[in-house]
Amino acid sequence: MGRTSAEGYKECVNEGLISEDIALQIHLTSNHYPPIPLTMIPVAKRAIVKANRGEWDKKVRMPEGVSHRVYGNLVPVHEVISHMHLDTFLDRGEEDYYE
């Protein structure tokens, strides 16, 4: 259900029905257990932007007081996308989708 709802949130963003911030808020708190804190929304947004540019190995800074158990406070984009299940929020052509 999480992936399907995330796809729906992204579609709503694309259609201008909700903002990306609201979509990420719902996704991070409803599709994860335990919920991912809302302080991670800016991290998710930066990771999405970098992933859309193909910068998968670039790093994203964590908020004050948050660190990754392996990477510390600078985490690679591919880890953020994977951990937060943000792949459905990426801008891709039909040929770019993978399972």
pTM as predicted:
0.88
Residue of 92, 79, 97 whose CA lies nearest to 40: 79
Give the whole-angstrom CA distance, residue 13 versus residue 11: 5
Domain ranges of the chain: 2-93
What are the pLDDT digits (tens) for 36-94? 999 999 999 999 999 999 999 999 999 999 999 999 999 999 999 999 999 999 997 54
- Strands (DSSP E) contained in the chain are 59-61, 74-76
Give the whole-angstrom CA distance, residue 19 versus residue 9: 9
When pLDDT is cut at 50, 70 and 90, the band that residue 96 belongs to is very low
Residue with tokens 């947004």: 45
Give the whole-angstrom CA distance, residue 59 versus residue 88: 20
